[in-house]
């Protein structure tokens, strides 16, 4: 691997060595060497995080309790010879990766990274390509503290926000998702 790629890898490692808040990400992106910034411009970065009071998945590693799905909606013009043409939406998947992150006194963290994301701004100004990032909890995974959480407040774990849908611009993208306890019962 070249020194340039090593420098890009070191830059990412420095970003993920601490919780990736919006402010930290903005500062990291501002301080990037221009060539490394261009190399990482097609990346989507972020993390799944939650308060330790919500418990911990009963898995060997935190990352085994989650998946991250990502794709781009691409519109292509299709039609038969002699027939009418129409726009068809294709779902082009991205390969996301996620791993156990650096926790702190209050939060557990699972960072994720999505490489090779294509810019979605349309050249015709009409057919923008939307990128989707959707975190999931692996079905059937139990969590430590399930009983304690349920006795304190009846609810279920959910992501906030549930997903990110955006037109990918020329810079590295950042979206983080918090696991929260949503109330099962809501009073009027």
pLDDT digits (tens, 9 = 90+) for 96-135: 999 999 888 899 999 999 998 888 776 666 667 889 999 9
How many domains, in total, are found in the chain? Answer: 1
Q: Is the pLDDT of residue 34 over 60?
A: yes
Q: State the Cα angle at 27 between 118 and 164, rounded to 5°.
A: 40
Q: Containing domain of residue 15, as a range?
A: 3-183
Question: Mind listing the pLDDT tens digit for each residue in 62-74?
Answer: 999 999 999 999 8
Residues pairing with 69 in the sheet: 134
- 8 Å CB contact between 107 and 51: yes
Q: What's the confidence (pLDDT) of residue 151? A: 44
- 8 Å CB contact between 24 and 18: yes
Assess if residue 140 is contained within a domain: yes
Assess if residue 188 is contained within a domain: no
- 8 Å CB contact between 73 and 132: yes
Question: How many angstroms from the chain centroid is the CA of residue 13?
Answer: 17
Nearest to 75 by CA among 22, 128, 135: 128
- Reduced to 3 states (helix: H, G, I; strand: E, B; else coil), residue 163 is coil
Find the mean pLDDT for residues 136-145: 90
Distance separating alpha carbons of residues 67 and 146, to the nearest angstrom = 20
Distance separating alpha carbons of residues 101 and 49, to the nearest angstrom = 9
Q: What's the confidence (pLDDT) of residue 150? A: 46
- 8 Å CB contact between 19 and 102: yes
Find the mean pLDDT for residues 130-147: 88
- 8 Å CB contact between 78 and 118: no
Residues pairing with 86 in the sheet: 78
């Amino acid at each position: 691997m070249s020194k340039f790629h090593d420098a890009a890898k070191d830059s990412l490692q420095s970003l993920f060595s601490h919780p990736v808040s919006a402010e930290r990400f903005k500062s990291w992106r501002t301080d990037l060497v221009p060539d490394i910034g261009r190399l990482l411009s097609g990346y989507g970065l972020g993390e799944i995080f939650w308060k330790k009071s919500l418990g911990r998945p009963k898995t060997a590693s935190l990352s085994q309790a989650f998946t991250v799905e990502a794709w781009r909606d691409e519109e292509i013009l299709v039609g038969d010879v002699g027939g009418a043409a129409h726009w068809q939406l294709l779902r082009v998947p991205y390969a996301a990766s996620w791993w156990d992150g650096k926790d702190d006194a209050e939060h557990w963290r699972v960072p994720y990274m999505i490489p090779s994301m294509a810019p979605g701004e349309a050249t015709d100004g009409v057919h923008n390509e939307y990128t989707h990032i959707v975190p999931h909890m692996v079905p059937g995974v139990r969590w430590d503290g399930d009983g304690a959480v349920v006795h304190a407040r009846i609810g279920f774990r959910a992501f906030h926000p549930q997903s990110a849908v955006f037109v990918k611009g020329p810079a590295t993208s950042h979206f983080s998702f918090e696991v929260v306890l949503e109330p099962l019962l809501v009073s009027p």
